[in-house]
Amino acid sequence: MTKSRSQHPPRPPVVLRLRREAVYAALMVVLLVTLAELGLRLAHARKEARRGARPYGIHSETHDGVAYGEDDGPIALANDPHLVYRPRGPHADAVVTLNRSGFRGPERPRAKPPATQRFVVLGGSTAFGMNTSGDAAPFTALLEQQLAPAAAARGRALEGWNCGVIGYDSTQELALLATDLVDVAPDVVLLFDGWNDFRGSSMVADPREALLHPKFTQNDRYLARRTAPFLEWLRGFAVVEKLDEAVAALAARAGPPRDHGDYFDHSAVALPRYERNLRALIRLARAYGAVPIVVTQPELFQRANPPAPELAMRAKREEEGYGDLARAIYPRFVAIGAALAAAEAAPYLDATRLFDGCDDVVFTDFVHLNDRGHQLVAEHLAPLLERALVEAAAGARTQR
């Protein structure tokens, strides 16, 4: 008997077409995403090739050496419970040397040798010597070289410890001096400060977070992401990373209004904090027998009559609102440094004015200096430091 059509209804052709089209669409999406992924990775590789070697690039590590986050530079910044992070040494390449303590420069014993004077420089990446040609270029190394003969005439060897750390502000410097550097018995503590406190307070949306270092917030976000391994794996794809950046940009635009383009103004919180920290740094240095020197570090928009290349850099920063922020707020940090040094009778140098009578290009960006800039800083600091070393030697003889 022939089976009726009602017993075996034919599959509707439309269903086959829809399924086939869905498969084709899925394959097309996969193809497009694959092409986009390959294109983004190729563009990134070309950008890295153009950028060349990055001796000053950083990456984050947990306390036990596990790398995390998106940065992949050669200098490791390891999580630290008191300092947020600290550079991990030893590290050496053709440009940057970190000793076992994580400070830039040669290995030296922590116990001060007899008949030796030490000066310690605290600060951020400018003091560290970001963008300079090598370990001999930062002003700490230049000052040691310039003043060593005078120290030798006093019967002393001279050591300059470059303890500037990329990104450190005055809160971290205070913790570093109190927990680590007082043990190396410095004769002079030079505080090269101001800009990281100023800029750090402009990077967070919530003024209640202005007391948190921006990298603390960033590290906290990265470490939280590691608790979702599948999502973290997805973020390893360039396409997902771009989407993530787009979502973050939309969230930023939808967030609270900013005071200066891309920047907030939380100086009402940051300025008193900076003043407290600077006062504590000066007094702590003196309590351990060291002479403090206060230096307010240079900044791109504070220089009078800059040369054409620096004017071009200023023009780029104007577009994002940084120029208005720097002109309005940074002089208030400078004023605090000057007033506090006067009140505490500490030697002071306003380095924002060092380059006004010079035609040379000294800035490489907002605040970092090239080799010539470090030379000029060293020339102006040398007399202050020499007087402080003489004072420290006299104080040591009096105590004996």
Domains and CATH numbers, the chain: 58-204+264-399 (3.40.50.1110)
Sign for the pseudo-dihedral over CA of 227, 233, 239, 242: positive
108-135 tens-digit pLDDT: 999 999 999 999 999 999 999 999 999 9
Give the mean model confidence (pLDDT) for residues 232-249: 77
In whole angstroms, give the CA distance from residue 337 to residue 350: 8
Do 64 and 73 contact (CB within 8 A), yes or no?
no
> Which of these ranges, 56-65, 238-247, 314-323, has the smallest mean pLDDT?
238-247
- Tell me the pLDDT band of 389, cut-offs 50, 70 and 90: very high
Pairing state of beta strands 157-162 and 116-123? parallel
In whole angstroms, give the CA distance from residue 285 to residue 32: 61
Q: Report the amino acid identity of residue 347.
A: P
Tokens of 179: 């927990």
* 125 three-class SS: helix
Give the mean model confidence (pLDDT) for residues 90-117: 96
**What pLDDT does 145 receive?**
98
Q: What is the enclosing helix (H) or strand (E) of 79?
A: strand 75-80
**What pLDDT does 10 receive?**
63
**What pLDDT does 1 receive?**
47
Give the mean model confidence (pLDDT) for residues 190-202: 95
**What pLDDT does 250 receive?**
77
Which residues have C-beta within 8 Å of that of residue 365, sequence separation ≥ 6?
A: 131, 300, 313
**What pLDDT does 23 receive?**
80
- Tell me the pLDDT band of 15, cut-offs 50, 70 and 90: low
Residue 398 predicted with pLDDT over 60: no
Residue 399 predicted with pLDDT over 60: no
**What pLDDT does 39 receive?**
85
Residue 216 or residue 345, greater confidence: 345
Give the mean model confidence (pLDDT) for residues 342-354: 97
E-only strand ranges, 270-376? 291-296, 348-350
pTM of the entire structure? Answer: 0.88
In whole angstroms, give the CA distance from residue 349 to residue 334: 10
**What pLDDT does 24 receive?**
80
Residue 296 predicted with pLDDT over 60: yes
Residue 166 predicted with pLDDT over 50: yes
Percent over 90 (pLDDT), the chain: 68
Mean pLDDT taken over the chain = 90
